[in-house]
C-alpha cells in the first residue's frame, strides 16, 4: 500500500467512524431512553382521566396526584397515553422498513451512497432538534409523533448506507491489501510460467495460492470485526457523554416535559455536528467515478431514483424466492438466527430494567445508572472481544456463538428464582433484593443487592456491545459483492420485524401470570433456539456462494 492510498484509507475510515460517533447518540439518549417517555408525557399533558374524561391528567396543582387511567384523543379515538408511545414506535418501525427496502438499490450505487446517508442524517437530526421548539402545550403537539417517526427512519436508513461501506473499508485495510498483493504476485508468476512453457497445464490453484486465499479470507474477516467493533465503541462512548450531560437537566427539572425535549434536541444537535466529518471524508460521487473497475456501472447508461425504487421492491421479492434462498442458504440461515437473537438481546435489556423496577424495587437513581452503565460496558465488550479473538485465533462465528451462550446465562439465572423462592436456599435467582447477597445488615444488604444487579447489567452490556459489532461483521462475509446495501437492508428489516415480538410476548406473559419472572424462560428459549441454526452455517461455503452469486 502506497503512502497516498494509506492516507486515503485512514481518511475514509475516519469518516465512517465519525458517523458512528454522531448517530449512535440518538439511539442511546433518545430512542432507548428519553423519546418513549417524552411521547407519553406529550400525550399525558393533553390527556384526561377516565372515566369522566373531564379532569386533566397533568393537574395544575403540583401537590395533587391525580389517579386513574390517562387517555388522550387522537382523531375520533381515545387511547391510553402509554399506548400512544408504543403506537408511534410501531409506526416508525414500519416506515423505516418501507424506506430501507426502497433505498437498497440506490445505496448500492456508490455515487449516491454518500448523498443518501447525509440526506437521511439531515432529516433525522433536524426532526430531533425540532423537539426543542415544540412544547406539549402547542395545539399541534401531536406532530411529535411525526418528528419521532422521521428521526427513527432517518437513523435506520442512514445506518444501512453506513454499513454498506464496511466491506470496502475492510478490503482496503493495510493488512488485507498486503495479502491480496501477494495473491496477485503469485498469480502473475503462474501466468509467466505458462507463457514461457506453452505445454504446461493451465493455471490451477496451487497450495501456496490456496493458503494465501485462506489467509486473505481470515484477515478480511478480522478487519471487518475490528472496524465494526471500533465503530460500536465510539458510538457508545458518544452516547455515554451526551447521556451524562442530558441527565443533569432531566434530574434538576424532575423529568419535566421540557427537560425531555431538551435531551432529545441535544441528541439531534450532536448527530448533526459530528456528521460533518463524515460529509468531508467519506468517498462520494467523484471517488466512485474514478473507479474504472466499478461493477455498478449500468450497461444501458440509464439510472433514476424511481427506477431503482421499483427495482428494489421487485428485487426483494426475488431475494426471498425459494430458488434464491437455496443458492445463498448459509446467508439465510444466519438471517434466521439473527431474527431470534436481535429480538432476544433487545428484550433482555428492556426486561432487566423493568424487572429491577417492579420486582427488585430499585430506585430511579439506580435505573438511571443502568442507562449509563449499559453502553459503557458495551464499549468494554466491543474492545475486549477482538483482543481475545486475536489472542486465540477464533473465527467470527465462534465468537458469536460464545457470546450467545454467555447471554443466555442471565435469564437462566433469573429462572433459578422459582427453585429458590420458598426454599431453604438464600442466594441466587434474583428473588428479592436481599436474596442474592450473603446475610447482612439491612442497609448494607440493599447496597450489595444493587451492586450485584448492576454487575449483571454490566455483563449483559459487554456481551451485547460485542454481539452487535460481530453480528454485522460476520454478515458482511456472506454478502454478494456490490450488493451490500440491499442485503444490509434485509438485515435491518429482519431486525426490525422481530423487534416487537419479544416485548409483546413478555407483556402477555406478565399479564397472564402476574409474574414477569416467567418471561425469563421465554428469553432462554429464544436465545438457545438460535444456537443450532448458527452452528449449521458453513462459513466457507457461504463465502463461496456469495462470490459466485448473480441475481437472475
**DSSP secondary structure letters along 167-233:** HHHHHTSHHHHHHHHHHHHHHHHHHHHHHH-TTSPPP---HHHHHHHHHHHHHHHHHHHHHHHHHHH
Q: pLDDT category, 56, cuts 50, 70, 90?
A: confident
Cell matching residue 143: 406532530
Compute the average pLDDT of residues 279-308. 62
Class of domain 1-59+67-167+236-285: mainly alpha
pLDDT at residue 18 in the model: 95
Domain 308-552 belongs in CATH node 1.20.1250.20: yes
| CA 470/CA 409 separation, integer angstroms | 19
Pick the range with the lowest mean pLDDT from 127-141, 225-239, 400-414, 429-443: 429-443
123 or 173, which is more confident:
123
Q: Which residues contact 375 (CB under 8 A, 6 or more apart)?
A: 28, 236, 237, 239, 240, 243, 461, 465
pLDDT at residue 443 in the model: 44
C-alpha of 119 from chain center = 20
Helix, strand or coil for residue 506? helix
Q: In which order are the strands placed within the sheet that holds 70-74?
A: 48-49, 70-74, 77-80
Q: What is the mean pLDDT of the chain?
A: 77
pLDDT at residue 515 in the model: 64
Whether 1-59+67-167+236-285 and 308-552 share one fold: the answer is yes
| CA 27/CA 494 separation, integer angstroms | 18
pLDDT at residue 12 in the model: 92
Q: Write out the H or E segment, with its range, that includes residue 107.
A: helix 81-107
C-alpha of 321 from chain center = 26
Which range scores top for mean pLDDT: 115-129, 161-175, 458-472, 503-517? Answer: 115-129
Question: CB-side exposure of 244: number of CA atoms within 13 Å?
Answer: 10
Q: pLDDT category, 147, cuts 50, 70, 90?
A: very high
| Residues 317-347 as b or e (16 or more Cβ within 10 Å = b) | eebeeeebeebbbbbbbbbbbbbbbbbbbbb
Is 426 a residue whose pLDDT tops 70? Answer: no
Q: pLDDT category, 80, cuts 50, 70, 90?
A: confident
| CA 481/CA 296 separation, integer angstroms | 10
Using the 8-state DSSP alphabet, how is residue 480 labeled?
P
pLDDT at residue 120 in the model: 95
Is 221 a residue whose pLDDT tops 50? Answer: yes
| CA 514/CA 511 separation, integer angstroms | 5
Pick the range with the lowest mean pLDDT from 14-18, 104-108, 315-319: 104-108
- For residue 261, CA distances in Å to 58, 65, 144, 438 come to 17, 23, 10, 43
| CA 550/CA 546 separation, integer angstroms | 8
Q: pLDDT category, 385, cuts 50, 70, 90?
A: confident
| CA 175/CA 218 separation, integer angstroms | 11
How is the chain split among helix, strand and coil, in percent rounded to 5? 75, 0, 25
Cell matching residue 500: 416487537
Q: Write out the H or E segment, with its range, that includes residue 49.
A: strand 48-49
pLDDT at residue 122 in the model: 96
Boundaries of every domain in the chain = 1-59+67-167+236-285, 308-552
Locus of grid cell 484509507: 9
Is 44 a residue whose pLDDT tops 50? Answer: yes
Amino acid at each position: 500500500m502506497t503512502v497516498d492510498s494509506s492516507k486515503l484509507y485512514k481518511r475514509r475510515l475516519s469518516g465512517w467512524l465519525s458517523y458512528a460517533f454522531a448517530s449512535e447518540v440518538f439511539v442511546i439518549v433518545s430512542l432507548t431512553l428519553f423519546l418513549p417517555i417524552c411521547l407519553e408525557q406529550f400525550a399525558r399533558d393533553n390527556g384526561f382521566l377516565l372515566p369522566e374524561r373531564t379532569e386533566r391528567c397533568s393537574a395544575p396543582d403540583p401537590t395533587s396526584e391525580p389517579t386513574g387511567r390517562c387517555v388522550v384523543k387522537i382523531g375520533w379515538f381515545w387511547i391510553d397515553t402509554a399506548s400512544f408511545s408504543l403506537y408511534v414506535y410501531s409506526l416508525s418501525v414500519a416506515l423505516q422498513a418501507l424506506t430501507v427496502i426502497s433505498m437498497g438499490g440506490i445505496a448500492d450505487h456508490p455515487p449516491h451512497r454518500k448523498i443518501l446517508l447525509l440526506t437521511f442524517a439531515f432529516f433525522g437530526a433536524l426532526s430531533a432538534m425540532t423537539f426543542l421548539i415544540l412544547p406539549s402545550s402547542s395545539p399541534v403537539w401531536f406532530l411529535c409523533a411525526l418528528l419521532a417517526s422521521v428521526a427513527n427512519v432517518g437513523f435506520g436508513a442512514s445506518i444501512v448506507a453506513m454499513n454498506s461501506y464496511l466491506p470496502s473499508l475492510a478490503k482496503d485495510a493495510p493488512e488485507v491489501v498486503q495479502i491480496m498483493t501477494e495473491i496477485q504476485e503469485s498469480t502473475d508468476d503462474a501466468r509467466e510460467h505458462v507463457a514461457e512453457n506453452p505445454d504446461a497445464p493451465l493455471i490451477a490453484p496451487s497450495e501456496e495460492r490456496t493458503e494465501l486465499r485462506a489467509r486473505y479470507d481470515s484477515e478480511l474477516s478480522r478487519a471487518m470485526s475490528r472496524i465494526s467493533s471500533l465503530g460500536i465503541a465510539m458510538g457508545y462512548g458518544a452516547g455515554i457523554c451526551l447521556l451524562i450531560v442530558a441527565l443533569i437537566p432531566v434530574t434538576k427539572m424532575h423529568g419535566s416535559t421540557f427537560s425531555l425535549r431538551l435531551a432529545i434536541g441535544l441528541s439531534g444537535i450532536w448527530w448533526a455536528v459530528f456528521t460533518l466529518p463524515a460529509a468531508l471524508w467519506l468517498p462520494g460521487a467523484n471517488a466512485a467515478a474514478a473507479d474504472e473497475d466499478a461493477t455498478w456501472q449500468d450497461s444501458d447508461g440509464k439510472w433514476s431514483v424511481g427506477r431503482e425504487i421499483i427495482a428494489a421492491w421487485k428485487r426483494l421479492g426475488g431475494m426471498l424466492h425459494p430458488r434464491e434462498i437455496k443458492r445463498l442458504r448459509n446467508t439465510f440461515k444466519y438471517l434466521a438466527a439473527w431474527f431470534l437473537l436481535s429480538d432476544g438481546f433487545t428484550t433482555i435489556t428492556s426486561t432487566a430494567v423493568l424487572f429491577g423496577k417492579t420486582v427488585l424495587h430499585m430506585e430511579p437513581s439506580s435505573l438511571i445508572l443502568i442507562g449509563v452503565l449499559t453502553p459503557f460496558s458495551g464499549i468494554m465488550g466491543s474492545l475486549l472481544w477482538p483482543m481475545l479473538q486475536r489472542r486465540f485465533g477464533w473465527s467470527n462465528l465462534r465468537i458469536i456463538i460464545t457470546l450467545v451462550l454467555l447471554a443466555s446465562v442471565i435469564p437462566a439465572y433469573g429462572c433459578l428464582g422459582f427453585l429458590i423462592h420458598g426454599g431453604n436456599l438464600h442466594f441466587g435467582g434474583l428473588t428479592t433484593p436481599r436474596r442474592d447477597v450473603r446475610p447482612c445488615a439491612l442497609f448494607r444488604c440493599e447496597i450489595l443487592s444493587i451492586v450485584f444487579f448492576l454487575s449483571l447489567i454490566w455483563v449483559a452490556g459487554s456481551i451485547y456491545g460485542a454481539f452487535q459489532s460481530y453480528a454485522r461483521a460476520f454478515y458482511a462475509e456472506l454478502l454478494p459483492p456490490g450488493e451490500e446495501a440491499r442485503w444490509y437492508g434485509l438485515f435491518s428489516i429482519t431486525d426490525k420485524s422481530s423487534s416487537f415480538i419479544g416485548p409483546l410476548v413478555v407483556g402477555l406473559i406478565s399479564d397472564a401470570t402476574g409474574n414477569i419472572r416467567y418471561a425469563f424462560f421465554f428469553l432462554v428459549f429464544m436465545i438457545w433456539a438460535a444456537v443450532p441454526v448458527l452452528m449449521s452455517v458453513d462459513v466457507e461455503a457461504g463465502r463461496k456462494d456469495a462470490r459466485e452469486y448473480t441475481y437472475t
